[in-house]
Amino acid sequence: MAVLILAEIDPTDPWFAQLITKLKNRKADLDLRVWPECGKPEEIEIVLAWLPPLGVMQTFPNLKLIISLGASVDRILVDPDLPNHIPIVRLVSEGKTWQMAEYVTLAVLLFQRRFMEYQALQRSRRWKYLPVLDARVFTVGILGLGVLGLTVAKKLAAIGFAVRGWSRSPKAIAGVECFHGREQFKLFLRTCQAIVCLLPLTPETEGILCHDTFSALPTGAYLINVGRGKHLVEADLLSALDSGQIAGACLDVFDTEPLPNDHPFWSHPHIIVTPHIAAPGMPEEVVDPILDTINCSREGRPLEYVIDRNRGY
């Protein structure tokens, strides 16, 4: 039985090229196929999915498992023809978690130490001191305290930031002030100098980074969105930047990716754009969790990181 990589990708993409080589090197007997070269549909037992084309999964009658090649599954669940009895496992790896912690820490420090403003001053050759808020009072609010949010929160707390976190269910995390549920959302936002979106995209979280949320923050707060583009109402961010309610944003994910050439975010002086690179994980490091999951499935052992389709994450 075969494992199929089902992804709408550029065939020369180096991350995928490396992943394929490493999977083959580690497990020479793995019958690995890459869509659209599927062979006979009845031979496909496991799919490794990243931005999978819609409607394809249902054409594999013997499919037993879907492994997301990302931490998220929103682009898999969006398929209206997805067979509903197949477990979906998401990819969790230490390297991916560390990459996310690095990215967010960098963005928080850039904003707290006002580097975007210093870059603008540099361009006009101006030598000027800008006051900064001490990290202990520069409160960072993390939306989502899962695998990634929890690590990010702990790392920021460890380097001295005041950290708050918000999740669906209640949590107790040393050094992090925890809030949960819609009813505590505004209370959570009230003192955040920066917010970091590390939520999964679900019907409850879509559009959560909107005018109402920005208005509940202190004036001049910062936004870091590393969740999904659809968490953000783009027009609301542009208005909040115009009014000064939001002072700057660092965005890694977008409603349309790649970000269209004529999009206003590209040239906005208070927006940092990165091309969905916060935490891809290293191919050599995601091979183990993928092969372990394949083995568990084949040997009938319990699977880790199975998503709950009702919750959407």
The catalytic site residues sit at 228, 276
**Helix, strand, coil: what percent of the chain each, to 5?**
35, 20, 45
312 binds ligand OXD (CB under 6 A): no
- Which one among 72, 139, 151, 293 touches ligand OXD, defined by CB under 6 A? 72
Q: Residue 135 binds which entry of ligand NDP, ligand OXD, none, with Cβ cut-offs from 5 to 8 Å by kind?
A: none
Contact characters 18-57, ligand NDP, x per CB under 6 A = ----------------------------------------
Closest CA to 192 of 246, 152, 235, 266: 246
- Cβ neighbors of 110 (< 8 A, separation 6 or more) are 116, 250, 272
Cα dihedral 257→255→8→146 (10° resolution): 110
| Preceding omega of 218 cis (within 30 degrees of 0) | no
83: left (phi over 0), alpha (psi -120 to 50) or beta: beta
- Which one among 280, 282, 284, 309 touches ligand OXD, defined by CB under 6 A? 280
Of 67-75, 80-88, 102-110, 292-300, the window that binds ligand OXD (rule: CB under 6 A) is: 67-75
Q: Residue 309 binds which entry of ligand OXD, ligand NDP, none, with Cβ cut-offs from 5 to 8 Å by kind?
A: none
Query: How many residues line the site for ligand NDP (CB under 6 A)?
Result: 28
- Cβ neighbors of 240 (< 8 A, separation 6 or more) are 211, 214, 246
* Contact in structure between 141 and 165 (CB atoms under 8 Å): yes
Of 14-22, 39-47, 186-194, 226-234, the window that binds ligand NDP (rule: CB under 6 A) is: 226-234
- Cβ neighbors of 109 (< 8 A, separation 6 or more) are 115
Min CB(72)–ligand OXD separation in Å: 4
Contact characters 26-65, ligand OXD, x per CB under 6 A = ----------------------------------------
Q: Which two tokens stand for residue 241?
A: 């930047």
Q: Residue 167 binds which entry of ligand OXD, ligand NDP, none, with Cβ cut-offs from 5 to 8 Å by kind?
A: ligand NDP
SS3 category, 243: helix
Strands in 221-225's sheet, in edge-to-edge order, are 176-180, 162-167, 139-143, 194-197, 221-225, 246-251, 271-273
Residues counted in the chain: 313
- Cβ neighbors of 126 (< 8 A, separation 6 or more) are none
157 binds ligand OXD (CB under 6 A): no
Min CB(90)–ligand OXD separation in Å: 8
279 binds ligand NDP (CB under 6 A): yes
- Which one among 47, 57, 63, 70 touches ligand OXD, defined by CB under 6 A? 70
Say how far residue 10 (Cα) sits from the centre of its chain: 21
71 binds ligand NDP (CB under 6 A): yes
Min CB(279)–ligand OXD separation in Å: 6
Q: Which residues bind ligand NDP (CB under 6 A)?
A: 71-72, 144-149, 166-169, 198-202, 204-205, 226-228, 252-253, 276, 278-279, 313
Q: Which residues bind ligand OXD (CB under 6 A)?
A: 70-72, 280
